[in-house]
Chains A and B, each alone.
Chain A
Amino acid sequence: MREGITNSYADWLVDLANEDLSGEALRNLLATRISSVEEIEQAAKEVEISRRVRLFMISLQQAEIEVPADFEAKLMARVSEDTTLLNLLDIYLSGFGRTLLELITALLSFIPEKQVSEQTV
């Protein structure tokens, strides 16, 4: 197959592969945009290939793919791990926040009351 000849028409050819046009009708339509007879033949050939491969690919939809047997068990273990981690993070953050507040309060208590009221004013 001569690559590159129809690259500039690739998106059009993909659209044509979705339709039913073939034979002379397809070639006539291709001739509206492609002047060279050789390129029209190449494009027509590519449309047919594209259409055929598409049908092959669609047959893959019917192939059922087995989900691993322990998929759900593994997933739920990960979910539980995730929940535990989030809870720990939550506890850690609330603990950290509380400690931070206590530290600020303790630091403020070292500052003389007058200075604190001056600063706030």
Chain B
Amino acid sequence: MLLCQQTLPDDTRAFEVMVGRYKKRVFSTAYRLLDNREEAEDSSQEVFLKIYRNIKNITEPITFEAWLHRITVNLCLDVIEKRKRVPAVKIYLDANDETQNFDIPATSNTAKIYEDKEIRNCLEKALAELEPKGRSAIVLRDVEEMSYEDIAESLKVGLSAVKMRIHRARLAVRELLEKICPGSWRAKSV
């Protein structure tokens, strides 16, 4: 990051290395929050453009990763906020489609891989059905592992409201899992 601060805007090589290092994390966060690859890509690029424009203003390199995460989350929450609430027509990932979004690490336990993949597919479907406020809260807490305080700050609500949203969202996910993928709730691997 220091190198980026010293070399930008004339030399973008250090910036490119930084993009290479963090793009996966930024894109994953954006995709989990937005549940849309195009929007996630656009938002991730906006995040890096923001960094490109403002990197010289960061004084503490230690806070860079936290800063990056916060920019990503806030930018995605803005996108969610701006979305019109139209009922989304979701095209679910085919459970048999090997070209879907997840890369499952190679292991000898094929049954386990299939089970994990099934559970993740079911969860993705359930999350897609959740209302945006609940979805943001549960993803930020359970997948991004943000503290309740940070979530409250990002969502601009109180601590109690955050916990309430998480609790309701978890109960809703359970209901949705039963509806979308009957049996997944009782899967042994989790």
Binding site for A on B (CB under 8 A): 9, 12, 15-16, 19-20, 23-24, 27-28, 31-32, 37, 41, 44-45, 48-49, 52-53, 101-105, 116, 119-120, 123-124, 138-139, 142-143, 145, 159-160, 163-164, 166-168, 170-171, 173-175, 177, 185, 189-190
The answer for the CA separation of A54 and B139 in the assembled complex, in Å, is 10
In the complex, A82 has a CB within 8 A of chain B: yes
Please tell me if the beta carbons of B16 and A82 are within 8 angstroms of each other in the complex: no
Please tell me if the beta carbons of B190 and A74 are within 8 angstroms of each other in the complex: no
Please tell me if the beta carbons of A60 and B120 are within 8 angstroms of each other in the complex: yes
Q: What A residues does B52 contact at CB under 8 A?
A: 79, 82
Task: Indicate which residue in A46, A54, A65, A76 contacts B101 across the interface (CB closer than 8 Å).
Answer: A65
Query: Besides the contacts A55-B190, A71-B44, A76-B16, what 4 more A-B pairs have beta carbons closer than 8 Å?
Result: A11-B167, A61-B145, A82-B49, A82-B52
In the complex, A110 has a CB within 8 A of chain B: no
Please tell me if the beta carbons of A1 and B170 are within 8 angstroms of each other in the complex: no
Instruction: State how many residues of chain A have any CB contact under 8 Å with chain B.
Output: 38
Instruction: Tell me how far the C-beta of A1 lies from the nearest C-beta in chain B, rounded to whole angstroms.
Output: 7
Q: What A residues does B139 contact at CB under 8 A?
A: 57
Please tell me if the beta carbons of A49 and B164 are within 8 angstroms of each other in the complex: no
Q: What B residues does A111 contact at CB under 8 A?
A: none
Binding site for B on A (CB under 8 A): 1, 7, 10-11, 13-15, 17, 46, 49-50, 52-68, 71-72, 74-76, 78-79, 82-83, 86
Task: Look across to chain B and name the residue whose beta carbon is closest to the beta carbon of A6.
Answer: B167
Q: What B residues does A14 contact at CB under 8 A?
A: 163, 166-167
Tell me which of B16, B142, B167, B174 has the highest count of chain A C-beta atoms within 10 A of its own C-beta.
B167
Task: Indicate which residue in B27, B142, B175 contacts A65 across the interface (CB closer than 8 Å).
Answer: B27
Please tell me if the beta carbons of B170 and A64 are within 8 angstroms of each other in the complex: no
The answer for the CA separation of A54 and B167 in the assembled complex, in Å, is 10
Instruction: Tell me how far the C-beta of B101 lies from the nearest C-beta in chain A, rounded to whole angstroms.
Output: 6
Task: Indicate which residue in A10, A66, A79 contacts B49 across the interface (CB closer than 8 Å).
Answer: A79
Question: What are 22 A-B pairs with beta-carbon distances under 8 A?
Answer: A7-B164, A10-B164, A13-B167, A14-B166, A49-B171, A50-B170, A53-B138, A54-B170, A55-B190, A57-B143, A60-B32, A63-B103, A65-B24, A65-B27, A66-B103, A67-B23, A71-B23, A71-B44, A76-B16, A78-B49, A79-B15, A82-B53
* A75-B19 in contact given A13-B167, A53-B170 (Cβ < 8 Å): yes
Please tell me if the beta carbons of A67 and B16 are within 8 angstroms of each other in the complex: no
Instruction: Tell me how far the C-beta of B175 lies from the nearest C-beta in chain A, rounded to whole angstroms.
Output: 7
